[in-house]
Amino acid sequence: MNMTLLQLRSFLAASESLNFSEAALRLRLRQPTLSSNIKSLEAAIGGRLFYRDTHRVTLTELGLACQQHARRLLEDLDRAKMDLRQRAEGLKGSIRLASLPHIFPSLLAQPLARFRELRPEVTIRFEDVSTSEAMELLRAKHIDLAIVNELESMPGIRCQFLTERRFVAVLPQQHPLAAAARIRWAALEGNDLIVIESRELNDSRMVASLRSAGLLPPITHRVHQLSTAVGLVMAGFGIALMAQHTAQHVLQPGLVARPLVEPDLVGKVGLLTLASRQPSPQVRLLCDVLLDACGPSSHPASEMGRAGAGGRSMSIDIDRLDRDIG
């Protein structure tokens, strides 16, 4: 015969009050029901738990041991129930998040700090990976959401627009072009250009798109590490081209970032989850915080693409161009 929770609760109430009438009242049971529960528990254990006579009720040695075990079991059960309830309500738990490198400090720092204020007991586990790696992790259910360069509509993937991805020039503060608030692509003619051919930024496709439109001079330096590009700029080897979120991360004293315009290269950063999987309350809240923090009003960069006074503004969807070229 198995022990039940009702048997344990009936016994514990009786063992603490040593009065079956009070224990039954406390548990809102009829006294015969409480007595029956305790007899069933004694049968399951195989021994008497109480000594009872006309004057008093006392615990047997077996009853004292059972009292300790019952308290511990029921306290553990109550803690487990509270923990599960808090997880179901999104107050506790964990989130597995994958994102492109260099997006964390610039784009995500403020919303993630806000989320920690709202849910201090929710753990976030990070993966800084490429877009393709993030997609593999998401489909394999190794992560809960991904923040990547937004792709075309994909079967089984729920994608929400998070923010725009625009491109800037990073150059020394004393460079003649640094005096302008914005730099036209045509103005780069005659300058040595540095491009990061990384898996994250898709700069090689950006370059191909611009060159096919006759808007970009030859690239002088092609590197794979962000630190190499920044080092070359600081040493005076040229102007680096990169996404604005990356530039916010790497700017150092003596360097400035200027929006590249005419045309504006507009890409997208997307927030991806599995369509077949209902997000947990924790994940839904994090998505809401991210979408709220990364809205258009939160981004000064959304003003980057406007042409100067008297200028003509032209915008190119870099994601569409990437698909057309590549």
Burial level of 106, CB count in 10 A (0-12/13-18/19+)?
A: middle
Q: Cite the residue boundaries of each domain of the chain with CATH code 1.10.10.10.
A: 5-88
Q: Where is mean pLDDT largest: 30-34, 240-244, 292-296?
A: 30-34
Which segments within 100-245 are labelled E, that is strand?
122-128, 145-149, 157-165, 167-172, 183-184, 193-196, 221-223, 239-243
Is the pLDDT score of 321 beyond 60? no
| Domain formed by 165-267+314-325, architecture | 3-Layer(aba) Sandwich (3.40)
Tokens of 156: 């089984």
3-state SS assignment for residue 260: strand
Give the residue, 104 or 55, on which the prediction is more confident.
Answer: 55
Reported confidence tier of residue 209, pLDDT bands at 50, 70, 90:
low
For residue range 10-23, list pLDDT tens digits in order. Answer: 999 999 999 999 99
Percent of the chain scored above 70 by pLDDT?
83
Cis peptide before 263 (omega within 30 of 0): yes
For residue range 162-201, list pLDDT tens digits in order. Answer: 888 888 999 999 999 999 999 998 898 889 999 887 654 4
Fold of 5-88: Arc Repressor Mutant, subunit A (1.10.10)
Specify the CATH number for 93-163+268-301; select among 3.20.20.140, 3.10.105.10, 3.40.50.1100, 3.40.190.10.
3.40.190.10
How large is the C-alpha radius of gyration of the chain? Answer: 32
Q: Cite the residue boundaries of each domain of the chain with CATH code 3.40.190.10.
A: 93-163+268-301
Tokens of 162: 């998070």
Q: Cite the residue boundaries of each domain of the chain with CATH code 3.40.190.290.
A: 165-267+314-325
